[in-house]
Structure 1
Amino acid sequence: MLLHEKQDSFSPLRQILGHVSQRRYRNYAAVGIALVLLSMVWLSGSLTLHSSRQKFHDDYVSNRVPEWTSRVSKSNDSHLIPANIWQIVLPKTQPFMGDPNHVHIDARQLEFTASWLATNPDWQYTLVGQKGGNEFVESHFKTNPKIIETYHNISNVGQKSDFLRYLLLSVYGGVYTDTDTVALKPIDVWVPKAFRDKARLVVGIEFDRRDGGPWADIPHWLQFCQWTIAAAPGHPVFTRMVNRVLKSLDDLSDLHGVPISQLQPESFEVMNSTGPAAWTDMVFEQLQVYNPLLNDTQDLSFMEEPTLIGDILILPIDGFGMGQDHSKSTNDGSIPPTAMMRHMFQGSWRGD
């Protein structure tokens, strides 16, 4: 049908050429018609490109996930976690607030991102920068101005990135992963088949005191990482975590006698307000809702296989934490079969 229509659309041109009797004028006519056709093709392409860009803009501004994202998420019928991959790169200082379009991102920060794209074709990937983060928070949390105010006032890039990942996963779901992580297996196989219709949150262990004493910056016997998290949108753990962040930052502000925008937190203050220590507290609280017999994170120590508690799937140390020299993590140069990804520990938030 399209071919037939295309052929018919050229027949008037043939008639015009047919009525030009002299060769010289026929050549002039052919050239003129060709120029007209090229102009039409260029104009059509420009309109199509503008329409595509406008559609993406409309989807974003109207607080909807673009339709293509929705189709990808729905194609993964056996999983409750949408097929979205999120990474965040925010500037370490905030001099660009007035002109967020000119924040430079060093391409070297994304050297491991290709592993996520290659391992997970057809997943929707989004790199969120300062402008996108601001627009997302402002458009999705209009009814909670405390979230917007706190987000904008955070000056420590580690805390800001932490807060943003929880908000993104709460709204859209998917997989958040730091830019210094490497994908080892497709996300589709992270959750064992028996749990795929049940798991709405996937967390990994980053520290387990099973083979040593306590660490100064880690208050728990066992700690969950938040360099990589997989979640269904709306999981209740994020409500807990957002409230924890808001309270922790207010507490730090009161402790130091300065507004949140002027805080210069120490490493432990970051980890215990927005980072893995706070995350572990909130995940464990949610686990206790599902299993009141859990008393301490030590009850999860020595885990050797993926374990589902309620709708939270906990991966053993090698799942998200291989290559470390503690916690019985595999660190002999090999990649264990239970490893889903690897953290390369190249983040530099501690200096912020």
Structure 2
Amino acid sequence: MKPVYLADFGLACSLGRGKPEVLAGLRQRSQPVATRHLPGMMGGDFPYHAIPGSAGDWNERARELVRRVSEEAGGGLIRNSPLFIATSSFDIGAAERGEADIAYDLFAAKVADWLAWTGPVHVISTACTSSLNALLAAHALLASGEVEDALVLGIELDNRLTLAGFAALQLLSTTTSQPFGLHRDGLVLGEAVAALRLTTGAASRWRLLGGAHVVDGTQPTGATPSAVVAMHRQALAAAGLGAGEIDLIKVQAAGSPVNDGVEAQGLREVYADMPPLVSLKASVGHAMGASGAVELALLACCLDADAAWPACRDALDEALGVTLATVRPEGVRRVMATILGFGGSHASVVLERT
């Protein structure tokens, strides 16, 4: 099996468009959050992490963002390689405005055309875990030696259907995202686009060691402790590591009253000595199918020596038995990154600093 490296990445989220803007936004410590309004009995005003700036209609804006993050990741260098598109909402935002038909294959072709992509295109849609599953699929392909490069593209852009669905399930906060928070009351959604360029051709700063995807459909809208435990243990086994060799865990911790507790329970069972934990949902919102790629890219930014660290502003729920790192941990070499999603989907990847 060949080693697989994260060669570079591009990112657009509520903190900014491109890595320099994202880092500047993170240093501000207090980012403005937009509001989305939904009519009806289950509606109201909900906080929403929107990408700043606009470029016309939905398709024009999406094309500009996809091109921007792909070029930032160096995607233009590998256009004849496999492209993995990860999303849970496709271009439903454009369809809502009458600017697109609802056809998944047409969306894939549209994105490939935006990038002038000539290589094979794969679409992964497993709700919130889409990006991490795309990353796992790309890792398997590269590690086998079939190709040397691939681009994983996570896309989740503003639409009313996703927001309305979460509101109808009463899963949204009307205030803020409070990961593992004492007063957590739900999720805050957001839009984001991220590109991760993978390679076996040359070593780079981060190596992707592997990961795991565990599905437990007994709780279709949430996580289960046994699946959280299985996900972590299978990912550790795939990476050839023990629990004590993980230096940092990027948790889901989206502020859900139930799911945060389930995740904390699973973490306590796997890690006798709990490594530092970090959640990024309060900084960029929950970007659904793009969240795995988005949060990996943001975490890589946060682990730079001169970068800011996500602020932990709210009181934590001590009953959960876990805490969040308030400053960047020293000597981080191996990172576990997880996403928990609808359909009982639990996914994780392990990265190692080379």
The TM-score normalised by the length of structure 1 is 0.26
Structure ranking higher on relative contact order (CA contacts 8 Å, 6+ apart): 2
Structure holding more helix per residue: 1
